Chain A
Amino acid sequence: MLTFDSVTKTFENQVCALDNVSFNIKRGEFVYIMGPSGAGKSTIFRLLTLEERPTSGQIILENQVINTLRRSRVAALRRRLGVVFQDFRLLPNKTVYENVAFAMKVVEASETHIKERVPLLLELVRLLPRKDSYPDQLSGGEQQRVAIARALANDPGILICDEPTRNLDSATAKEIMRLLNLVNERGMTVLMATHDREMVNFMQQRMIIIESGKKVLDQTKGGVSS
């Protein structure tokens, strides 16, 4: 599904954010990318969304080398990724429904498809009764659920979540984790960056630990893999 093959990213100021990192994620897996701030977790995500290109190595998504994609193909790639941010990034002037529909509208989905799909997504994240609320009328947890619904809107192949529970209290964070687990159980591949060990322990899943740009541990649910 997703392969990082000896990926190195060195920035112009000679800071090495990722150093020869390799891993392979299978379809339907739930994988934590763990590590302290500045370890390189965000770089992995930025490389995946092609905001950055690796200095060396290859990134393969669904049998396609993506790091050499032309700029004009980047938009099409991003439709295959669902992205969830720690700060939700909802549009404040749009309702819950409109925020999710917006993601479909901007990739020119048909109106009929939008009308069918958005209520289903809101039901999945248990926010259908609040579809007409604005983000500032919602709690942090609810906002993050809207963001997850939006990330799933265009039926991506993989959901990438950049510390989605960071700004939430422990109970709400667990609620979000349960939701992500539910999405994963329905077949979605989930890649989640976190530095919250409590969350990782709460949901026993595969864990890749990055420190100072290097992969230091790749531990499956039951033990340690290469």
Chain B
Amino acid sequence: MKIKSVSYYFKEAFQDMRHNKSMLLASVGITLVMFVIMGFFFLFTSNLNYMIKDEEQKLQITAFLRDDIETERIQAIEQELSEIEGVRRVYFVSNQEALERLSERLGKRKGLLTGYEEDNPLRHSFEIYVKKSNEVPQIAQVTETIRDIAEVRFGRDEVEKLTRLSTSLRIGMFFLAVGLSASSLLVLMNTIRLTIDARGEEIQIMKYVGASDWFIRWPFLLQGMILGLLGALIAGLILLALYSRLYAYVIREIPFLPMLPANPHLFNLIQIIALGGLAIGFFGSMISLGKYLKV
């Protein structure tokens, strides 16, 4: 491919786009909307997975003690718990500490707890950290048999629920992506087809004088790729602006909610979106060009 030809391809591509502004806007618009929706879905599921990971890491057993327990007994239970096979660490959480933690998690809304300082409704508990997460159920079972332990909880239920939600969201996202990509591809194909129609005669002459298929294709492929990329990049910027705001809000207002930071996560997503835009543009043009090259 000669450099002179490359400049010819770009010149032709931009010339066509200038002549076809309304379709240009339509294709950039639909690509943009598609990528914004898909981007948000993707970010949502990524964050959900991040939360699942976070929960899994925290996977521990909480053993609540009976209300009227004595201090000596607490120490004895701590000893018993540490001796269970597979337990890494045992940490005692007094009802006072539990209340402080809750107050911290509530952030600005800790006023809700006013009045509970004197009459603490929470129970003492032990946090039991295990060596292997798959041993959690057995260790929980053993823990339950220890005297004066009122209730044993472990986070598996939440993790399972979140995992199920994440899986169904991913399936939903897949179908949404297919549908949106198809409609975006169709609009782009239509745009390129219009410009090809406008230049049908030129293409025919090019074929007759012996221009290669690729020489004819490139201006249209470039046009498709530029439109796809433009839509994708604008979508990327919109996602970046909205997500950064959301992130700042979550950090400020709901600090205990784990959320992925924009950098590098969103920047990687923007790169993928840009590639997607290029691909949609390329294939849209390729399909549209098909019948014109059969002269």
Contacts and interface: CB of A to CB of B under 8 A. Distances in A.
Contacts of B212: 75
Q: Is the interface of B mostly helix, strand, loop or mixed?
A: helix
Given A51-B295, A105-B8, A108-B215, A78 B210 contact: yes
B4 A108 contact: yes
Given A51-B295, A105-B8, A108-B5, A91 B211 contact: no
Given A51-B295, A89-B204, A91-B201, A103 B209 contact: yes
Interface of A: 49, 51, 72, 75-81, 83, 89, 91, 102-103, 105-108, 111, 150, 153-154
Interface of B: 2, 4-5, 8, 201-202, 204-213, 215-216, 295
Contact of A150 (B201, B202, B209, B216): B209
A79 B212 CA distance: 10
A12 B279 CA distance: 37
A162 to B, nearest CB: 11
Nearest to A92: B201
Given A75-B211, A79-B210, A106-B211, 11 more contacts: A75-B210, A78-B208, A78-B209, A79-B209, A80-B210, A83-B208, A89-B201, A91-B201, A105-B8, A107-B209, A108-B215
Nearest to A83: B208
Given A79-B210, A107-B210, A102 B205 contact: yes
A51 B295 CA distance: 6
A81 B5 CA distance: 23
Contact of A107 (B201, B211, B213, B295): B211
Contacts of A153: 209
Contacts of B216: 106
A76 B215 CA distance: 13
Contacts of A75: 207, 210-213
